[in-house]
Structure 1
């Protein structure tokens, strides 16, 4: 019996010249737990997630959700829900996504999406989310957060989230990469309660 290697990193593959119809068919055929599919106007990226990727995205989600809970913020999480738009020729599953204050209805998109980046994407994630008019995109790459806000159809780097302006991403980042996720959550909780 073979065991999955601890060192397996995410793998990416790009297919071009894929029609919207072919994307929809492939999306249905390849629906698997550790496979992320991103589509943007003919370009299709397939990515298998690594154990580290899944650990980090789950840790970020737990930390952000803890922050919202401790600060009594109405943050609604939707995990890695698939978003598609035939009109915009886009489809993707963010690592995590959120609405602040209201629940999403069919046809709506999140206020915030999170992407954990271990290897550079082959399809520009910001271009994909621009087509969905997502106000904020948070990237976690190389142990730090990069935050982007959509303004007049262009994403620009920002230092603070408009939705969670008091959240200190520099404080948060070191907790994300720790192996002791449970302890990291408790330590952040203690810091938040002392503040």
Structure 2
């Protein structure tokens, strides 16, 4: 397996799917690929997918991740962003690497930890998937009990909330209630490609402040 894997070249935007991969082989693949790489993996019941993202994928991931961070900062909510950390469970035979992930409500539980173990640590509160060249593995996220999954595809943001072990699409986030993020996030992402990242993020921060003031006036 290791020799075969070392010979595989995955062009950007393509994916390789390997069947009948044992958990031990999956662990060896992760070790060989290493932590500092562009490729993303998904593993479920012996099926291993390795995907090499396109530059567009990475650009959208970074900007949307920055928008989420700005949102959390403006709301004065402590958080921890762990990017494409590998989350896995041998008992469930599942593993996934989100494009971005955030600990928000569960941030205090993992604060300062260098290594996470889902057998004792909680999963991230929010995972982000950019579906430019890959597909979202909802069943893996649901099994790992990630409460909220955001999926960005074709310029649209879909918010999925875990209810009774299944994701249901929602018009708004349970983490950020009363904020029209499914419209705002794509809009400011588009704006970043016209006016530039810094101007778009600054405008988004101003929008968040206005939303906070609006919600306070209603209360």
* Pairwise TM-score range, normalised by the shorter structure: 0.7 to 0.9
CA distance in 2, matches of 1:192, 1:161: 15
User: Does the aligned pair in 1 maintain the 2:99–2:128 contact within 8 Å?
Assistant: yes
> Which residue of the other structure, out of 108, 119, 132, is the alignment partner of 1:118?
132
Higher helix share: 2
Q: Of the two, which has the highest radius of gyration?
A: 2
TM-score (norm 2): 0.79
Q: 1:150 maps to which residue? A: 162
Runs of 4+ in 1 over 4 A off after TM superposition: none
Higher strand share: 1
Alignment of 1:67-106 (within 5 A): 67-103=71-107, 104-105=109-110, 106=116
The answer as to 2:46 corresponding to 1:30 is no
**Across the two proteins, how many residue pairs are aligned to each other?**
186
Higher relative contact order (CA 8 A, sep 6+): 1
Alignment of 1:1-195 (within 5 A): 9-31=12-34, 32-103=36-107, 104-105=109-110, 106=116, 107=118, 108-121=122-135, 125-168=137-180, 169-177=182-190, 178-179=192-193, 180-195=196-211
Structure 2 gap segments, 5+ residues each? 1-10, 111-115, 212-219
Paired residue secondary structure (1:113): strand
Paired residue secondary structure (1:127): helix
Q: 2:215 maps to which residue? A: none
TM-score (norm 1): 0.88
User: Does the aligned pair in 2 maintain the 1:76–1:102 contact within 8 Å?
Assistant: no
Q: CA RMSD in A?
A: 1.7
Change (3 A) 1:96 1:171: same
